[in-house]
Structure 1
Amino acid sequence: MLKNKKVHFIAIGGSVMHNLAICLKLLDNQVTGSDDMFFDPSKTNLQKHGLLPEKEGWNADKVHSGLDYVILGMHAKKDNPELLKARALGLKIYSFPEFIHEASKAKTRVVVAGSHGKTSITSMVLHVLQKTGRAFDYLVGAQLEGFETMVKLSDAPVMVIEGDEYTTSPLDLTPKFLHYKHHYACITGIAWDHYNVFPTLDIYEHQFAQFIDLTPPEGKLFYAASDPRLVSLIDRAEIPQERLLAYEALPATVRNNKTFVEWEGHEYGLQVFGQHNLQNLNAARCLLNELGVSNEQFFTHIQSFKGASKRLELIGEGQNCSIYKDFAHAPSKLKATSEAVTRQFTKRQLTACLELHTFSSLNKAFIHQYKDCYNLPHEALIFINPKAVEAKKLEMITEAELREAFNRPDIRLFTEAPKLEEYLLNQNWNNRNLLLMSSGNFGGLDIETIKNRITG
């Protein structure tokens, strides 16, 4: 099913969707697609591979009986004209997780799940597999250094998958990760997210309970021992406990702003840091052991791992100042990331800026989940783009409401990128770090100018 097929993508502009489209084209398939809007990097990537449609919007004429199958993205609606025509013609319609499972049926599947750390652990596993010369396929939610696309399909015997708990498609509201049918997996932790589709914590936790129970008799699932909610789910699992194995953070020390992990009498210098990453590293080690990678190989090669894009990514550095960018937006991610930078640089103050951008984070019914998650930075800033609030049909959150919800009375709210830029450029950055956390773009904030001025 991977070569010489005619494939159409409905909502081709998505992060994973456009990478899958490129992957299939590189496998000599005839690929077309549509979407109602395109943004970079997907727009540029599609254009580079000759897959960018001439016009934005949906066109039912692109769907015809000559197609071998259609791949449906989450962004499309149930009444999408291309979807309606595909169903009327009786075409085979896959969501992308269904397609990934179909394409990897003969492979050993490793799935990384959890509310946080999925991309980092998946990236660590891929990095070490690549360094050891193993053949593998993958699906990961970020662009990684040394990997051309975020999706690879081949005849490799192993596939490593970042398993998202978000819903699959307009036709299938089950979590994506339930489709992958893992052999080996890990769960990093459970922290309520995606309020729009999982309106209660119990409903959210139930998705992970189903995932745990999918672990096959010959498989294993590793879980973070530090997460009480996750441990409680594990204790109630309907499968034998011997298939469920706990892991903890690797022991480490910090010297001169660098982290060294300790293992069996040896020290290994790392390019990543933070307690959450030490936990992620151990999860990656456990999964790689199941794929035949030794601990010695793991620690040898993990020293060159620089991290995934926008996951505590160092984007600028001066003599006494470092600037980090992170995808953190949910409460648990905010807490782990700001704690990591604070503890890594004990002699520097930290100014942190969080953009509330997702439906959950901008929702007044959810915002109290952030209580006490933003306490460690010396200075705590929040950016909210009013256009994002309007697009999600929510009510703007005030500075007073943020201070009460976060339980931090000195939080400062910015709603305009130029004013945030002006504020940052007028600070003294000697012995002070900047941490930018967002799944958005801070309303178009000129991060390059800020980086050059602060570190220059």
Structure 2
Amino acid sequence: MKIHFIAIGGSAMHNLALALEHKGYEITGSDDVIFEPSKGRLKEKGLLPEEFGWYPEKIHDQLDAVILGMHAKPDNPELLKAQDLGVKIYSYPEFLYEQSKYKTRVVIGGSHGKTTITSMILHVLHYHDIAVDYMVGAQLEGFNRMVHLTEENDFIVLEGDEYLSSPIDRRPKFHLYKPNIALLSGIAWDHINVFPTFENYVEQFKIFVDSIVRGGSITYNKEDLEVKKVVEATENSIRKFPYKTPNYRVEDGETLLDTPEGDMPIAVFGKHNLNNLAGAKWICQNMGVDEDDFYEAIASFKGASKRMEKIAEGPGKVAFKDFAHSPSKVKATTLAVKEQYAQRKLIACLELHTYSSLNAEFLKEYDGALDAADEAVVFYSPDAVKIKQLEEVTANQIAEALNRDDVQIFTDSNVFQEYLFAQNFDDTSLLLMSSGNYGGLDFDRVRAIFQQ
């Protein structure tokens, strides 16, 4: 098949392009800008566009399909040409469904935890040499790509994102997968630029649960009241499997999971990650992995890239980087690090970087999110607020939203770095939470300090 990607350089898009090239498809693509690691990975396989930009001449009637990425705009010249020629146009999730409609589709949804749970499931299956197709939103140890598609595998495991499918398809991605086996980890309002009210956001998860094929199943976190409400209210003819956080304890900086065979040390920590683990166990059991085999495999799971990633550790000090930016994730991650290293001072740094987090009204959702930190630090760029065409947020609004008078707030990346590198990190845990990079934080210097 001949497939053309409009906006091939995106994290998800380039992985799908690599997966289809591996499958033997003929792939072309365009983009106006491509960053690393996408750029190098595409170049290695001969898929990097010779020139950046949009070229309608790349679209012709010999193409079997065009896959449209979110980075493109509705008036993209290549998209308009494809529409004129009547070439079949797919969004990313539409194409994944097309590739998996004869497989058993396992879809992991939720406002938080879905990447970690999907990663845990894939780690366990990989450990036991169980071959499946997959799509996950983080790079995993032992996996070459974030997307893998075959003709022969019976199962496909999909991370079910609730964000929009494409510039011309405003449905959430996870509405298009029609799962046979589904999981819902939590519901916490996010993406307010698309879902302006909490009720509107919750509605998307109701549609997701109703999209599960008849006779399928939903595994759900019964400790999340919104999830419980949504799942228990559905009239869809599906089986329902609730799960909850398993018993565990922390001893000398090590998390011990309570299993039928006794306490088992695990590499991940924090109540939210133990809750994720319980959901992953149920899904693996639904896929034929017994409990003992699950525990044997999960003991070696170190986490997904950028999710509670330990970047450096030295005597009496440790530094973590985490993708957390929404209020529920920030609170859970901060609590987890404090619980794991209870005797140490915790410096928690949060970058407000997304559309939602920089919205003055949405800021209120961060109430108490950094309470577990001994020192709370916030960085945001006023330029990012302007780029997103939002009303300017103030330091006072942020302090009020977090409900902490002692929060340190920085808007200049150089001043933030000066503050950070002037700290004494003895007996300290440092937590850096962001989907950005704090205006260019020198992570190598952080590593060097913590490895001393």
Q: Is the 8 A contact 1:399 1:411 kept in 2?
A: no
User: Counterpart in 1 of 2:446?
Assistant: 450
Write out aligned runs for 1:349-428 (5 A).
Answer: 349-428=345-424
Write out aligned runs for 1:290-329 (5 A).
Answer: 290-329=286-325
> Take 1:312 and 1:104, find their aligned partners in 2: how far apart are those partners?
31
Which amino acid is 2:206 matched to?
Answer: A
Which amino acid is 1:166 matched to?
Answer: Y
User: Counterpart in 2 of 1:85?
Assistant: 81
Measure how far apart 1:391 and its partner are: 1.7
> Take 1:236 and 1:380, find their aligned partners in 2: how far apart are those partners?
39
Measure how far apart 1:454 and its partner are: 3.5
Candidates 210, 213, 226, aligned match of 1:213: 210
Q: Deviations over 1:396-454 (max 9, x none)?
A: 32211100111111111112222222111111111101000011111111111122124
> Take 2:106 and 2:248, find their aligned partners in 1: how far apart are those partners?
27
User: Counterpart in 2 of 1:224?
Assistant: 221
Q: Deviations over 1:248-275 (max 9, x none)?
A: 0111111110111111242211000000
Q: 3-state DSSP class of the match of 1:317?
A: strand
Root-mean-square deviation (Å): 1.1
User: Counterpart in 2 of 1:189?
Assistant: 186
Q: Is the 8 A contact 1:125 1:284 kept in 2?
A: yes
Q: Is the 8 A contact 1:285 1:295 kept in 2?
A: yes
Measure how far apart 1:236 and its partner are: 1.7
User: Counterpart in 1 of 2:90?
Assistant: 94
> Take 2:96 and 2:23, find their aligned partners in 1: how far apart are those partners?
15
User: Counterpart in 2 of 1:7?
Assistant: 3
Candidates 12, 18, 25, aligned match of 1:29: 25
TM-score, normalization by structure 1: 0.97
Q: How many residues align?
A: 451
User: Counterpart in 2 of 1:201?
Assistant: 198
Which amino acid is 2:200 matched to?
Answer: I
Q: Deviations over 1:285-335 (max 9, x none)?
A: 000001100000000010000000010010100101000010000000000
Which amino acid is 1:109 matched to?
Answer: R
User: Counterpart in 2 of 1:285?
Assistant: 281
Q: Deviations over 1:179-213 (max 9, x none)?
A: 11101111111000000000000000000001111
Q: 3-state DSSP class of the match of 1:233?
A: helix
> Take 2:31 and 2:381, find their aligned partners in 1: how far apart are those partners?
24
Q: Deviations over 1:84-109 (max 9, x none)?
A: 00010000111110000110111111
Which amino acid is 2:3 matched to?
Answer: V
Q: 3-state DSSP class of the match of 2:33?
A: coil
User: Counterpart in 1 of 2:263?
Assistant: 267
> Take 1:159 and 1:384, find their aligned partners in 2: how far apart are those partners?
39
Q: Deviations over 1:368-421 (max 9, x none)?
A: 111111111001111112332222112332211100111111111112222222
Candidates 234, 243, 249, aligned match of 2:231: 234
Q: 3-state DSSP class of the match of 1:19?
A: helix
Candidates 241, 245, 253, aligned match of 2:241: 245
Which amino acid is 1:15 matched to?
Answer: S
User: Counterpart in 2 of 1:135?
Assistant: 131
Is structure 2 residue 306 aligned with structure 1 residue 276?
Answer: no
Q: Extract unaligned runs of 5+ from structure 1.
A: none
Moved more, 29-38 or 82-91: 29-38
Which amino acid is 2:239 matched to?
Answer: R
Q: Extract unaligned runs of 5+ from structure 2.
A: none
Q: Is the 8 A contact 1:421 1:450 kept in 2?
A: no
User: Counterpart in 2 of 1:178?
Assistant: 175
Which amino acid is 1:333 matched to?
Answer: K
Is structure 2 residue 80 aligned with structure 1 residue 60?
Answer: no
